[in-house]
Structure 1
Amino acid sequence: MARPKSLRKVVKPPGFKGYKPYGHQQRRQKPVDLLYEEYEALKLADYDLMTHQEASEIMGISRATFARIYERARRKIARAFVEVKEIKAVYGHALLDKSWLVCNKCFARFTIPETITERNCPVCKSYNIETVK
Structure 2
Amino acid sequence: MVRPKRMRRVVTCHKHELNRNLKPIELSVDEFEAIRFKDYHDIKQTESAEFMGISQSTFHRILNSARHKLATSLIEGRPIIIVKGDTMINPNKYICEDCGFQWSNPEKEYEECPDCKSTNIRKLNVTNGMNNGMKNRNRIANDTCSCPNCGYSEPKIRGVPCRTKTCPECGSLLIGRGLCNI
Structure 1 and Structure 2 fold alike (TM over 0.5): yes
> How far apart, in 1, do the equivalents of 2:24 and 2:86 lie?
19
Higher helix share: 1
Deviation at 1:93, TM superposition (A): 2.1
Deviation at 1:50, TM superposition (A): 1.1
Deviation at 1:91, TM superposition (A): 0.7
Same amino acid, percent of matched pairs: 29
Say if 1:77 and 1:95 are closer, same or farther in 2 by CA, change over 3 A.
Answer: same
Please list every run of 5 or more consecutive structure 2 residues that lacks an aligned counterpart in the other structure.
Answer: 1-15, 92-123, 145-153, 156-180
> How far apart, in 1, do the equivalents of 2:30 and 2:43 lie?
15
Deviation at 1:47, TM superposition (A): 1.7
Match of 1:84 among 77, 81, 84: 77
Q: Which residue of 2 aligns with 1:56?
A: 49
TM normalised by structure 2 equals 0.43
* SS of residue paired to 1:95: coil
Deviation at 1:117, TM superposition (A): 3.0
One-letter amino acid of the structure 1 residue matched with residue 55 of structure 2? S
Corresponding position: 1:24 with 2:24: no
Q: What is the aligned-residue RMSD (CA, Å)?
A: 3.2
Which has the greater radius of gyration? 2
TM normalised by structure 1 equals 0.58
Q: Which residue of 2 aligns with 1:72?
A: 65
Please list every run of 5 or more consecutive structure 1 residues that lacks an aligned counterpart in the other structure.
Answer: 1-22, 99-110, 126-131
Deviation at 1:112, TM superposition (A): 9.2
Give matches, 1:1-133, under 5 Å.
24=17, 26=19, 28-98=21-91, 117=132, 119=134, 121-122=141-142
How many residues align? The count is 93
Greater relative contact order (Cα 8 A, min sep 6): structure 1 or 2?
A: 1
One-letter amino acid of the structure 2 residue matched with residue 81 of structure 1? L
